[in-house]
């Protein structure tokens, strides 16, 4: 059977997604008369196993198996001035070690392709930032970070048990990333700001053939107003932003290979406006709203002779989103207090592929969630009834190509849908 309706499911085995993640962190702070020292240490370990029926039929045409085991350790040291007057500063050092191994199996009727891998990342950074009070209303901030990162990647590719490829490439990347900002108090409860920040993401190696991809560079520009008005009853924040990317790393599911691949778009620009509003209508009744308009396009993204995705929308970038929420709190006698909460959200359609082909484009959708909670006065216990996606909206979270009977790419699309309508009871203990 080939699915013809959004409620149809065609599988020849039940997909699985098992994840076990745990971690521990510690923060130690020493405060002296002039300087404050802080140490932040964390360790995280994860084990993930996933199997996917990727052909969208009841036939055993194409399966994907994925597993990953990762261990990471981070250490950060910070030094700052304890009692800043006109000048506040902080400087420090950061280190990351991540060791991951796993692989992916691409299982057709014939052949079976196995790609085990092992990746080790070591990242180092030195950073510092200072904020100077130019006047009672004006503050200027300058920050600078130096990042250096190395990666080593071991992989092999086997077809029906025979190795056909392998390698152990290594590479390193580094970048200086500054930050500039000005904050100005327009009034007692209204602040205007402007900032420019450079960001950096290291390169890496492609799963499957270890083809390298380049580091990504971002310049972020923001300006806006943050305010608290009407005797702290309304918080209103509005901002304009523009992100200029060079060598943007684009991660997509490749229909031909059956695995996620990373490519570099030459240039891309994201710009827009967003607003956040939180209002206290009465002492017991709060409302909130958010709205965002975004224009995200590739500026340079050549695909081969005569083909360029320049002007296309970036994947998974809705132009318009907004949300509304309301919360009412009332006393429940000696038991504690009741909290009634409702949230409504709307999202514009999005393209899931850089090609912007209509068959890989989602529709707009809305979500309606409600929650009723009984909280103890000390906020340690919460007993809740909840309902999510109450309108039972069927919305896509990803769309890609299915497989034809011969294992090739099909004209049929395979979609992953968000969670349907759910009801439940939840008990939470806060610590």
Residue 258 has what pLDDT?
63
Residue with tokens 């790609």: 115
Length of the chain: 431
**Banded model confidence at residue 113, pLDDT cuts 50, 70, 90:** confident
What span, in angstroms and rounded, lies between the C-alpha atoms of 14 and 297?
38
Res. 409: pLDDT tops 80: no
What span, in angstroms and rounded, lies between the C-alpha atoms of 133 and 301?
43
Residue 335 has what pLDDT?
86
Structural domain boundaries in the chain? 214-429
Q: Is 238 strand, coil or helix?
A: strand
Residue 1 has what pLDDT?
58
Cβ-contact 282, 241 below 8 angstroms = no
Q: What is the mean pLDDT of residues 89-98?
A: 98
Cβ-contact 321, 347 below 8 angstroms = yes
163-172, 267-276, 371-380, 396-405, range with the lowest pLDDT: 396-405
3-state secondary structure 257-283: CCCEEEEEEEEEEEEEEEEEEEEECCC
What span, in angstroms and rounded, lies between the C-alpha atoms of 376 and 339?
11
Residue 56 has what pLDDT?
66
Cα 142–144–150 angle (5° rounding)? 165
DSSP 8-state secondary structure symbol assigned to residue 358? G
Cβ-contact 42, 25 below 8 angstroms = yes
Residue 162 has what pLDDT?
84
What span, in angstroms and rounded, lies between the C-alpha atoms of 371 and 376?
16
What span, in angstroms and rounded, lies between the C-alpha atoms of 341 and 355?
40
Residue 99 has what pLDDT?
96
Q: What is the mean pLDDT of residues 66-82?
A: 95
Residue 230 has what pLDDT?
92
Q: What is the mean pLDDT of residues 255-271?
A: 83
For 1-26, the pLDDT digits (tens) are 556 666 667 777 788 889 999 999 99
Residue 403 has what pLDDT?
67
Residue 88 has what pLDDT?
96
Residue 413 has what pLDDT?
79
Residue 6 has what pLDDT?
62
**Banded model confidence at residue 107, pLDDT cuts 50, 70, 90:** confident
For 114-168, the pLDDT digits (tens) are 888 999 999 999 999 999 999 999 999 999 999 999 999 998 888 888 888 888 9
Calculate the alpha carbon distances from 299 to 265, 302, 364, 384 in Å.
Answer: 8, 10, 25, 48
Domain formed by 214-429, architecture: Beta Barrel (2.40)
pTM metric for this prediction: 0.88
> E strands of 188-316, at which residues?
190-201, 204-205, 212-213, 216-229, 234-253, 260-280, 285-300, 302-304, 307-308
Q: How much of the chain exceeds pLDDT 90, in percent?
A: 71
More confident call, 150 vs 415? 150
Residue 404 has what pLDDT?
64
Cα 304 to its chain centre, rounded Å, is 30
What span, in angstroms and rounded, lies between the C-alpha atoms of 392 and 228?
37
Torsion, Cα 333 335 337 339, to 10 degrees, reads -130
């Amino acid at each position: 059977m080939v699915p013809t309706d959004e409620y149809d499911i065609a599988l020849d085995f039940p997909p699985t997604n098992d994840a076990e993640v745990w971690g521990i962190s510690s923060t130690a702070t020493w405060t002296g008369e002039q300087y404050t020292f802080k140490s932040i240490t964390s360790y995280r370990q994860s084990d993930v196993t996933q199997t996917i029926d990727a052909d969208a039929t009841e036939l055993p045409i194409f399966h994907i198996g994925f597993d990953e085991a990762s261990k990471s350790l981070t250490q950060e040291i910070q030094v700052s001035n304890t009692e800043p007057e006109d000048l506040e500063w902080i400087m420090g050092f950061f280190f990351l070690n991540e060791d991951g191994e796993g692989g992916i199996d691409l299982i057709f009727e014939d052949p079976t392709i196995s790609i085990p891998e092992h990746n080790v990342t070591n990242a180092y950074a030195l950073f510092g930032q200072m904020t100077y009070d130019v006047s009672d209303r004006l503050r200027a901030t300058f920050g600078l970070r130096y990042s250096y990162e190395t990666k080593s990647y071991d992989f092999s590719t086997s077809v029906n048990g025979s190795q056909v490829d392998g390698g152990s490439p290594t590479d390193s990347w580094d970048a200086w990333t500054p930050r500039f900002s000005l904050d100005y108090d327009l009034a007692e409860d209204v602040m205007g700001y402007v900032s420019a920040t450079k960001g950096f993401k290291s390169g890496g190696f492609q799963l499957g053939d270890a083809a390298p991809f380049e580091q990504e560079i971002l310049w972020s520009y923001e300006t806006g107003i943050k305010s608290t008005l009407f005797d702290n009853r309304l918080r209103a924040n509005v901002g304009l932003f523009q992100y200029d990317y060079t060598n943007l790393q684009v991660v997509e599911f490749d229909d031909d290979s059956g695995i996620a691949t990373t490519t570099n778009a030459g240039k891309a620009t994201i710009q827009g406006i967003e607003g956040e509003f939180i209002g206290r209508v009465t002492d017991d009744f709060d409302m909130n709203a958010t709205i965002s308009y975004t224009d995200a396009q590739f500026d340079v993204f050549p695909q081969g002779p005569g083909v360029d995705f320049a002007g296309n929308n970036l994947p998974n970038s809705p132009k318009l989103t907004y949300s509304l929420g309301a919360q009412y709190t009332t006393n429940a006698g000696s038991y504690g207090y009741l909290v009634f909460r409702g949230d409504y959200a709307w999202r514009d359609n999005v393209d899931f592929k850089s090609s912007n082909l209509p068959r890989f484009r989602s529709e707009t959708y809305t979500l309606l969630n409600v929650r009723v909670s009984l909280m103890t006065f000390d906020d340690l216990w919460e007993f809740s009834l909840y309902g999510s996606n109450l309108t039972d909206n069927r919305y896509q979270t990803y769309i890609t190509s299915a497989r034809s009977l011969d294992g090739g790419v099909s004209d049929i699309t395979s979609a992953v849908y968000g969670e349907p309508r759910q009801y439940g009871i939840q008990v939470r203990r806060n610590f």
